[in-house]
Structure 1
């Protein structure tokens, strides 16, 4: 039973990936994993090999990552700190995208209201005077069009 607890600490790899770079790689892996779940066929169609793409992007390779990951994983507290940074980074990215989405929705709402106003104006040009006065009374058509 005591042999189960006799895990030796891995040697520090010669090319140990820094904690900051480990966070970046793990964030990229989480994002890629989500992307594969949503658009796997699109990723494959574009010839992207997810893991290789991440290693290339972060100037590393699978062996260096595996050795560094094993080294950091041995120290649970350090690994927990790394994963909390990953979680914080993913949360920040998600919040950034939420802000972008909200801005896009607001812009679309403005564009749609402009489009609707133009359509009402165009509609107003094709109405007779009685219809125009009725729309003008409801403030849908600017007064200068009815003059």
Structure 2
């Protein structure tokens, strides 16, 4: 009976291995393309829940990101799942995404300061009860940021294969 417990214990230990390493899928999105894609996805997801100029309907910018890179949600999910199973690679990808977002943020800050200096530094004042849609600025910020991200990556060749 003692041997049975030892064998059972050993089998239990060997069965506790991690099965989170996925095999590389056939249509894996390359790292550099995944960085650009995730940058746009984070920008798009930050705008989810925002309403349009007339404060009527919300826009879903993630669909625009999928259309921009000509991929579908399943391909993104498979690639994302593969990269998340390899922590070191995914951390490297997310660090690059973070630096891209920081550089885009700096560009937007510079453009806002230039815009404010040209227009006399008028501050936007928003009243809780009434908002004039014509006075709102940067309502299409996610779309603009995705375009700026495309301009930053213009020199690079993205390898997204269908």
Q: How far apart, CA to CA, are the structure 1 residues paired with 2:113 and 2:63? A: 33
Q: What is the aligned partner in structure 2 of residue 109 from structure 1?
A: 120
Q: How far apart, CA to CA, are the structure 2 residues paired with 1:109 and 1:50? A: 32
Q: How far apart, CA to CA, are the structure 2 residues paired with 1:95 and 1:35? A: 18
Q: How far apart, CA to CA, are the structure 2 residues paired with 1:8 and 1:33? A: 26
Q: How far apart, CA to CA, are the structure 1 residues paired with 2:111 and 2:16? A: 50
Q: What is the aligned partner in structure 2 of residue 90 from structure 1?
A: 101
- Which of 1 and 2 has higher RCO (CA within 8 Å, sep 6+)? 2
In the alignment, structure 2 segments of 5+ residues that lack a partner are 1-11, 122-162
Counting matched residue pairs gives 108
Q: How far apart, CA to CA, are the structure 2 residues paired with 1:8 and 1:35? A: 32
In the alignment, structure 1 segments of 5+ residues that lack a partner are 111-147
Give the greater-gyration-radius structure (CA).
1
Q: What is the aligned partner in structure 2 of residue 32 from structure 1?
A: 44
Q: How far apart, CA to CA, are the structure 1 residues paired with 2:106 and 2:62? A: 25
Q: How far apart, CA to CA, are the structure 2 residues paired with 1:84 and 1:71? A: 17
Let me know the Cα RMSD of the aligned residues.
2.5
Q: How far apart, CA to CA, are the structure 2 residues paired with 1:109 and 1:8? A: 56
Q: What is the aligned partner in structure 2 of residue 121 from structure 1?
A: none
Give the structure-2-normalised TM-score: 0.58
Counting helix residues as a fraction of each chain, which structure ranks higher?
Answer: 1
Q: How far apart, CA to CA, are the structure 2 residues paired with 1:14 and 1:91? A: 32
